[in-house]
């Protein structure tokens, strides 16, 4: 053997069959592992489209349990591995996240790590008291109704936004708004103030001024209109009626204000005894508008006051067919005829309260 061949043999020693097999197994194993990890990242992993809620203060263990409890993942192990590699395990962000069926693990972890929540569309209407408002909006937030109610009832709240405790409901205009699930009660209140300011633009303020009313007074009258009729086409008529009474200096004599004073809107028949309640909200006793809204007036009710129907009506009475519509009169004699019909209808149906 030549010296050159001998040196080459020393540099490239002959491999045994066992060494070759071991090397091949390791090569195949590493290839398989690489293929497996590639699948961890890019294979579809989300079983179905859904929304997940990650509470404030939750750690990765809680998120992992959430995925497992709801059986959302084809491969939970892949979720844990990718989360660790992308450092999501130490960066969990609370929120409401909408995930899609067919997403791979990389897409899922990227969304959760980004903290980009899917907003909720919060809608509230048919609200009379702050406890009602707290209950309705808590359905959309992480905060419960008690915490929201406490925030709404803070002693310093009305003055901070330029209201009184009685007029504060005017600031919360029923509508549909976008919020994040993690929105705090205070942030919700701040947003409602901004929406109030946005709503009362120069055009609406000018209309209110032409009626001799402030925005809060418009809201107060609108709240009465809203309680008087559920019929949208009647609202401008009712608004015009009460504006006529205000111009003449007449008592409003609005039954809904008495119900508010009694804190009982289930009343269908306002009795003479009820009319004796000594409350500034009793418009049978006290002239002018009550101290503040008797509910949270909706936009349609506010617009009815700002754009009232012009007529000579001074009186209204529910129709005796219980259709929800009303008879309108410009004189007391005609009103009394309608009122008698309605009382008789109540008696026939044995409605005493």
Q: Do residues 306 and 230 both lie within one domain?
A: yes
Tell whether 314 and 221 lie within a shared domain.
yes
Number of domains in the chain: 3
Q: Are residues 153 and 283 in the same domain?
A: no
**Any domain includes 266:** yes
pTM for the model: 0.85
Domain residues for 165? 120-199
Alpha-carbon distance of 30 to 233, in angstroms, equals 75
pLDDT tens per residue, range 232-289 = 999 999 999 999 999 999 999 999 999 999 999 999 889 999 999 999 999 999 999 9
Distant-in-sequence, close-in-space partners of 37: CB < 8 Å, separation ≥ 6: 81
- Is there a single domain that holds both residue 56 and residue 88? yes
Residue 136 and residue 222 in one domain? no
* Three-state secondary-structure class, residue 98: strand
**Calpha distance 151→135 (Å, rounded):** 13
Is the residue at 21 inside a domain? no
**Pairing status of strand 120-123 against strand 176-179:** antiparallel
Predicted pLDDT at 13: 52
pLDDT of residue 293: 98
Contact 313, 240 (CB under 8 A): yes
Domain harbouring 105, CATH code: 3.30.1490.480
Residues 278 and 161 in one domain: no
């Amino acid at each position: 053997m030549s010296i050159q061949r001998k040196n080459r043999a020393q540099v490239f020693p002959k491999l045994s069959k066992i060494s070759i097999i071991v090397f091949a197994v390791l090569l195949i194993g590493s290839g398989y592992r690489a293929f497996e990890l590639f699948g961890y990242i890019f294979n579809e992993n989300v079983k179905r489209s859904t929304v997940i809620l990650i509470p404030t203060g939750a750690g990765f263990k809680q998120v992992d349990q959430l995925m497992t409890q709801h059986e959302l993942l084809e491969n939970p192990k892949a979720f844990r591995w990718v989360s660790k590699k992308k450092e999501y395990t130490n960066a969990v962000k609370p929120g409401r996240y909408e995930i899609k069926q067919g997403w791979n693990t990389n897409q899922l972890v990227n969304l959760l790590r980004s903290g980009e929540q899917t907003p909720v569309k919060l809608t509230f209407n048919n609200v009379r008291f702050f406890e009602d408002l707290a209950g309705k909006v808590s359905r959309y937030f992480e905060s419960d109704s008690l915490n929201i109610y406490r925030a709404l009832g803070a002693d310093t709240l009305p003055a901070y936004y330029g209201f009184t405790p009685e007029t504060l409901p005017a600031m919360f205009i029923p509508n549909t708004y976008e919020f994040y699930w993690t929105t705090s009660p205070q942030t919700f209140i701040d947003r409602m103030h901004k929406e109030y300011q946005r709503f009362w633009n120069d055009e609406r303020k000018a209309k209110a001024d032409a009626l001799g009313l402030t925005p809060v007074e418009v809201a107060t009258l609108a709240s009465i209109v809203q309680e008087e009729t559920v019929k949208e086409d009647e609202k401008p008529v009712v608004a015009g009626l009460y504006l006529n009474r205000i111009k003449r200096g007449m008592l409003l004599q609005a039954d809904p204000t008495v119900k508010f004073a009694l804190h009982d809107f289930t009343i269908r028949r306002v009795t003479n005894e009820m009319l004796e309640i000594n409350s500034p909200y009793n418009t049978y006793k006290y002239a002018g508008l009550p101290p503040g809204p008797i509910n949270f007036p909706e936009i349609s009710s506010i617009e009815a006051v700002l754009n009232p129907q012009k007529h000579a009506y001074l009186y209204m009475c529910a129709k005796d067919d219980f259709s929800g519509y009303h008879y309108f009169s410009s004189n007391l004699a005609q009103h009394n005829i309608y009122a008698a019909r309605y009382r008789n209808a109540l008696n026939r149906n044995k409605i005493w309260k």
